Amino acid sequence: MAKIVVIGGSGLIGSKVVAKLTAHGHEAVPASPNSGVNTITGEGLSDVMSGADVVVDVSNSPSFAPDDVMEFFTTSTTNLIAAERAAGVGHHVALTVVGTDRPNSIAYFAAKAAQEKLIRESGIPYSLVHATQFFEFISGIAAVSGKDEAIHLPDNLVQPIAAEDVATAIGRTAAGAPLNADIEIAGPEIMGLDEMVRRGLTFRGDPRDVVTDPEAPYFGARMEERTLMPVDGAEVFETTLAEWLPANPPRV
């Protein structure tokens, strides 16, 4: 079985990926600042890469400010690639977002697109997994979209997915041969971004209104109706929002 280093291995997706890979007999090594591995400074990278067959990057920027997020993904990925090359790693798997290749003005997407370009051009065999919005984002979207007592969101279409299913897709990809290509994953239902958040808050008894506002920005940017939607051929997982909500109380 393979030694698979999971960058961001203590986070929402990373911890699930580590558990799934370990359950299938792989040596899954979580790597994050918590374990002494820092992809920005390079601390601990050469040690954790020793003997690694695969590197999975599911890390995320601590700040979504445009300059910060671009600096995080370009610096982190550049350092990862250098360490992988030195260690002879044979497969780089990265989690990214559906929509980075569509016209948009979202700063986070621009940073992810820059990350993807570095990976494709690195010469290291790779697989890029583009996921739709997670159900787990409901509370965060509500928090940044509030206006007075109401939450203003556009009705742009989304096909959201559970983090557990994202981790399954990442684990399968890491255990397989490099694709040297991009794939997309999504949940089973199409709904408006406003509807997703409204359903989540209603289920949890949150009294705030979700106002459908086509002019409302999403994380500071305007989108086309289908910017966040997967294209034909995406792998569709089965977990619905109605199934996910009872099993996932709000994170404290």
> pLDDT tens digits for 83-103?
999 999 999 999 999 999 988
pLDDT score at 223: 82
Question: How is residue 107 written in tokens?
Answer: 């700063």
- Taking residues 112-141, report their average pLDDT: 97
pLDDT score at 251: 66
Degrees to nearest 5, angle at CA 154 with 96 and 193: 50
pLDDT score at 87: 97
pLDDT band at 105 (very low <50, low <70, confident <90, very high): confident
Q: Which residue shows structure tokens 């996932």?
A: 248
- Taking residues 236-251, report their average pLDDT: 93
Candidates 238, 156, 151, 234; CA nearest to 200 is: 151
Question: How is residue 18 written in tokens?
Answer: 């580590």
pLDDT band at 46 (very low <50, low <70, confident <90, very high): very high
Helix (H, G, I), strand (E, B) or coil at 174: helix
Does the pLDDT of residue 171 top 80, yes or no? yes
pLDDT tens-digit readout, 192-209: 999 999 999 999 999 999
- What are the residue ranges spanned by the domains of the chain? 3-247
Q: Which residue shows structure tokens 């996910």?
A: 244
Residue 123, classified by CB atoms within 10 Å of its CB into exposed (0-12), middle (13-18) or buried (19+), is exposed
Q: Where are the beta strands (DSSP E) in the chain?
A: 3-7, 27-31, 54-57, 91-97, 126-131, 146-147, 150-153, 157-158, 181-186, 191-192, 209-212, 235-236
Rounded distance between C-alpha atoms, residue 151 and residue 158, angstroms: 17
- Taking residues 122-150, report their average pLDDT: 92
pLDDT band at 148 (very low <50, low <70, confident <90, very high): low
Amino acid at residue number 185: I
Per-residue DSSP letter, 145: S
pLDDT score at 57: 98
**Which of 107 and 1 is assigned the larger pLDDT?**
107
Degrees to nearest 5, angle at CA 38 with 35 and 40: 165
Rounded distance between C-alpha atoms, residue 41 and residue 23, angstroms: 31
Percentage of the chain beyond pLDDT 70 is 98
Distances (CA, A) of 199 to 144, 185, 226, 242: 17, 22, 20, 9
- Taking residues 30-55, report their average pLDDT: 97
Per-residue DSSP letter, 136: G
pLDDT score at 252: 56
Range from 4-8, 99-103, 176-180, 181-185 carrying the lowest mean pLDDT: 99-103
Whether residue 108 contacts residue 62, with contact meaning beta carbons closer than 8 Å, is answered with no
Does the pLDDT of residue 155 top 90, yes or no? yes
Range from 61-65, 92-96, 156-160 carrying the lowest mean pLDDT: 61-65
**Topology adopted by domain 3-247:** Rossmann fold (3.40.50)
CA torsion angle for 176, 177, 180, 182 (degrees, to 10)? Answer: -20
pLDDT score at 33: 94
